[in-house]
Structure 1
Amino acid sequence: MPQKATAKFIVIEGLEGAGKSSAIALVRDFIEKHTGKAPVCTREPGGTPLAEKIRDLVKVADASDPLCDESECLLLYAARAQLVARVIKPALAEGSWVLGDRHNLSSLAYQGGGRGLMPLVSAVSAATLGDFKPDLTLYLDIEPSLGLTRAANRGELDRIEQQELAFFERTRATYLSLAQQDDSIAVIDASQSMAEVHKDILAVLQTKDW
């Protein structure tokens, strides 16, 4: 199909073990078929040389200098601001669709809900992003204990993946609450088989007036 006039920003969100990687591959293929052009793919934190350095600081535990919750939040927004300014906005301006592995909803859920820092998250989000947001967010919803079991089977857990179960339960509750308030967020049941998850994702994508 010919590319539509306006490029879109689509984001995949979800707890650990929700199946974001396979969902990203599916959506990437959909976008390429729909527009005739591969999307610009990003991940958060990361996506630029500076943001990737910040990713290492956030993901890897340092017993000699444990990262406090507020520093974690601010580092994530520093990485996000860099990615938006250097990659996402320029790509959209050039007519390229952007497919993101996480974006601002992650900070609202993890740092805002999980860490209990919503006032800080809201303030920094407004200061760094303003009204910039994805055109569509696909939130892959999964019960935390199931997701963490999947993640553990995948390999060694990073610093955030090692948080207590209650942290992820708060994070999930925030994801769902925010999704109820925002029509641009679609909730997908990620506890289903991969085939069913992909079917539901495609159903959402195909109903949009791109």
Structure 2
Amino acid sequence: MKGLFITIEGPDGAGKSSLVKRLVTAIQSETTQSLVVTREPGGSDIAEEIRELLLNPTHTNMDARTEALLLAAGRRQHVVEKIRPALEEGQIVLCDRFVDSSIAYQGQARGIGIEEVKAINEFAIEGLKPNVTLFLDVVAEVGLNRIKDKQSNRTQDRLELEEITFHEEVRKGYHALIKQEPDRFIVVDASQSEDEVFTEAWSHIQKEIHKIK
């Protein structure tokens, strides 16, 4: 692949969306290289429809394996329609969540199994991996409290409404992945202020951009 594939990961309430917005501005100021900003679940028309099914808070009876398969299906469409074509054209792709989320949420927290979720996602992505993954690390209690503070502005989705023990397992799943692939992950303490998180994250992303110039 000619481009640069950057993913942002973290538990709910880690501040991924806020960081992505600031990184977009910084990346566009740093390079003339085209930037594609996207997210998962979603990212393409079909995948966005799957997202609505997945995160609808009324779908409380969704089976864990159905959830994992829907995520992998949406990811496949996203990769084929948007991510891979952009990378092949030499663009920078900045994605809010990717396969690591499925492994942490469904593999670990839902108890399906990390290797099982890896397998169905490998079928979907055919070997595509991020060049670098920023992991915003925050304990479940802090993350969920942040979501509650913002609750007046938006409705919580189905996964955010899970019990704190679920979110603790999500974080545990991420840390297991980081141990497996320490060279790909950059861990940022997301309990810091937004400015501090951005400064630390941007210093790492800046280096990655300079590698491909």
- TM-score normalised by length of structure 1: 0.92
Q: Does 1:114 align with 2:113?
A: no
Equivalent residue number for residue 150 of structure 1: 146
C-alpha offsets along residues 69-128 of structure 1, whole Å, 9 cap, x if unaligned?
A: 010000000000000001000111112111101101100111111111124302202211
Q: Which residue of 2 aligns with 1:50?
A: 46
Tell me: CA distance 1:38–1:29, structure 2 relative to 1, closer, same or farther (3 Å): farther
2:196 counterpart residue number: 196
User: Which structure 1 residue ranges, 4+ long, deviate > 6 Å from structure 2?
Assistant: none
Worse-superposed segment, 200-209 or 40-49: 200-209
1:71 aligns to what?
Answer: 66
Structure 2 unmatched runs, 5+: none
Preserved contact between residue 108 and residue 173 of structure 2 (Cα < 8 Å): yes
- Structure 1 counterpart of 2:133, from 116, 122, 137: 137
Q: Unpaired runs of 5+ in structure 1?
A: none
TM-score (norm 2): 0.90
| Higher-RCO chain (CA-CA 8 Å, sequence separation at least 6) | 2
Deviations 1:161-194 (A, max 9, x none): 0111111111101111211221111110000111
Please name the residue that 1:24 is paired with: 20
Residue of structure 1 in register with 2:174 after alignment: 175
Q: Which amino acid aligns with 2:163?
A: E
Residue identity in the other structure for 1:148: L
In the TM superposition, residue 38 of structure 1 has moved relative to its aligned partner by 4.5
Q: Distance between the aligned counterparts of 1:181 and 1:70, measured in 2? A: 24
- Cα distance change, pair 204–21 in 1 and its aligned pair in 2 (3 A): same
| Matches of 2:90 and 2:6, distance apart in 1 | 14
CA RMSD of aligned residues (A): 1.6
Equivalent residues, number: 205
Percent of matched pairs sharing the same residue: 40
Q: How many Å separate the matches in 2 of 1:189 and 1:17?
A: 13
